[in-house]
């Protein structure tokens, strides 16, 4: 093991108006003693990633934890969350990777100068005829 190498993993991710820190650990174990590849901690605003995850798997694991954060900060019901997040993390990353035109379109519209997303409903509400 080469310590806590991050391989381009961002140090933080802004989700729903809060900034989660991304922490890379040599290994992650749940309170129940189960080995985890990633963990979302809303109370501490942490997304933990385990280096035990194969490097090819790490983007999926990070997106998986980001999706948990998205569900949590948007007040989602936790019922079926794990199954949805597990499926979506793989499908969504595949869609983003294999559709660069889509990603350019999505990222090119609705961005402020600092790169943060602009919420479009407010813009639409104030953009109509007077
Ligand atoms: Zn999960």
Buried b (16+ CB within 10 A) or exposed e, 81-107: eeeebeebbeebeeeeeeeeeeeeeee
The DSSP bridge pattern shows strands 46-50 and 18-25 to be parallel
In the structure, what pLDDT confidence band is assigned to residue 128 with cuts at 50, 70 and 90?
very low
Q: Residues near 108 by Cβ (< 8 Å), separated by ≥ 6?
A: none
Average model confidence (pLDDT) for the chain? 84
Q: Ligand 1: distance of its center to the CA of 40 in Å?
A: 8
Map out the domains of the chain with their CATH numbers.
Answer: 12-110 (1.10.10)
Q: Which residue has the higher pLDDT, 49 or 5?
A: 49
Q: Ligand 1: distance of its center to the CA of 66 in Å?
A: 10
Residue-wise pLDDT tens digits, 79-101: 889 998 999 999 999 999 999 99
Per-residue confidence (pLDDT) for residue 104, from 0 to 100: 92
Q: Ligand 1: distance of its center to the CA of 65 in Å?
A: 6
């Amino acid at each position: 093991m080469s310590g806590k190498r991050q391989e381009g993993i961002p140090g933080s991710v802004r989700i729903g108006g809060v900034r989660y820190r991304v922490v890379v650990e040599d290994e992650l174990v749940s309170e129940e003693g189960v080995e985890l590849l990633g963990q979302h901690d809303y109370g501490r605003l942490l997304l933990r990633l385990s280096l035990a995850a194969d490097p090819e798997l790490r983007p999926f694991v990070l997106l998986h934890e980001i999706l948990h954060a998205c569900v949590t900060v948007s007040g989602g019901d936790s019922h079926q969350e794990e199954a949805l997040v597990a499926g979506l993390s793989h499908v969504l990353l595949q869609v983003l990777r294999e559709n660069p035109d889509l990603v350019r379109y999505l990222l090119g519209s609705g961005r402020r100068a600092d790169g943060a997303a602009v919420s479009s409903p407010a813009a639409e509400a104030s953009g109509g005829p007077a």
